Amino acid sequence: MHLPMKTAALYFTLVASVAFAQRAPTDTELARIGQALSAAGFTTWGTTVLDEDAWEVEEARKGAQSCDVSIDARTYAVLEEDCE
């Protein structure tokens, strides 16, 4: 079966976008993310999504600071804190 070039390009674009779609954590993942954030001194946090190989956490609070935090999806180590 031969697909026209435009149809094939659209198909592969859709497949790629589904493969890299962000998703929310499961309950188990969320518990581990919470442990990592608490260990790093954060007390509250907002939305968490998986973006490729890291959990991206918005509005994590450490004292008066609000931070966006990246957490390794395999090890749950804090990779980066971007604080205001």
pLDDT at 20: 55
Domain membership of residue 45 (yes or no) is: yes
Distances in Å between the Cα of 72 and the Cα atoms of 23, 37, 49 are: 15, 12, 12
pLDDT at 13: 45
pLDDT at 31: 98
Domain membership of residue 41 (yes or no) is: yes
52 Cα distance to chain centroid:
7
Domain membership of residue 4 (yes or no) is: no
Output the domain CATH number for residue 70: 3.10.450
Return per-residue pLDDT of the chain as tens, 84 residues.
555 655 544 444 444 444 557 999 999 999 999 999 999 999 999 999 999 999 999 999 999 999 999 999 999 999 999 998
Number of separate domains in the chain:
1
Domain that holds residue 34: 22-83
pLDDT at 84: 87
- Distance of alpha carbon 12 from alpha carbon 7, whole angstroms: 9
Domain membership of residue 15 (yes or no) is: no
Domain membership of residue 6 (yes or no) is: no
